[in-house]
Structure 1
Amino acid sequence: MKVESRIFEIITAFFFLCAIVYSVLTHEVVGMAGLFLTGGLSLIIGTYFRFVSRRLEERPEDNPEAEVSDGAGDVGFFSPGSYWPITLAGSAALVAISLAFFYVWSLVIAGVLLLISVGGLVFEYHLRPSDH
Structure 2
Amino acid sequence: MRTSAKIFWILGVFFLVVAIVYGFLTYRYEPLGIETVGFPAVIALSGLGFMIAMALTLALRKHDQDASDDLEGEVSESAGVQGSFAPYSWAPLWLATGAALCFLGVAAGWWIFAFGILFAIYGLLSWVLEFSTGQHAH
TM-score range, shorter chain: 0.5 to 0.7
Aligned to 2:135, the other structure's residue is in SS state coil
**Unaligned stretches of 5+ in structure 2?**
28-33
TM-score by length of 2: 0.53
Task: Report if the CA contact (8 A) 1:11-1:42 is conserved.
Answer: no
Distance in 1 between the 2:52 and 2:97 partners? 32
The Cα of 1:121 is off from its aligned counterpart by 3.8
Question: Computing the radius of gyration over CA atoms, which structure comes out larger, 1 or 2?
Answer: 1
Aligned length: 121
The Cα of 1:59 is off from its aligned counterpart by 1.6
The verdict on how the C-alpha distance between 1:102 and 1:83 changes in structure 2, with shifts beyond 3 A counting, is same
1:4 aligns with 2:4: yes
Match of 1:107 in 2: 113
Match of 2:31 in 1: none
Task: Report if the CA contact (8 A) 1:84-1:120 is conserved.
Answer: yes
Q: State the AA in 1 paired with 2:69.
A: D
The Cα of 1:46 is off from its aligned counterpart by 7.3
Q: State the AA in 2 paired with 1:113.
A: F
Match of 1:116 in 2: 122
Task: Report if the CA contact (8 A) 2:98-2:115 is conserved.
Answer: no
TM-score by length of 1: 0.54
The Cα of 1:50 is off from its aligned counterpart by 7.7
Match of 1:93 in 2: 100
1:127 aligns with 2:135: yes
Task: Report if the CA contact (8 A) 2:9-2:49 is conserved.
Answer: yes
Aligned runs of 1:71-82 on 2, under 5 Å? 71-76=78-83, 77=85, 79=87, 81-82=88-89
The verdict on how the C-alpha distance between 1:38 and 1:87 changes in structure 2, with shifts beyond 3 A counting, is closer
Task: Report if the CA contact (8 A) 2:5-2:52 is conserved.
Answer: yes
Q: State the AA in 2 paired with 1:126.
A: G
Root mean square deviation of aligned Cα: 4.3
Distance in 2 between the 1:3 and 1:91 partners? 35
Q: CA offsets, 1:77-119, max 9 Å, x none? A: 452x44443332222111122234451x433322122222233
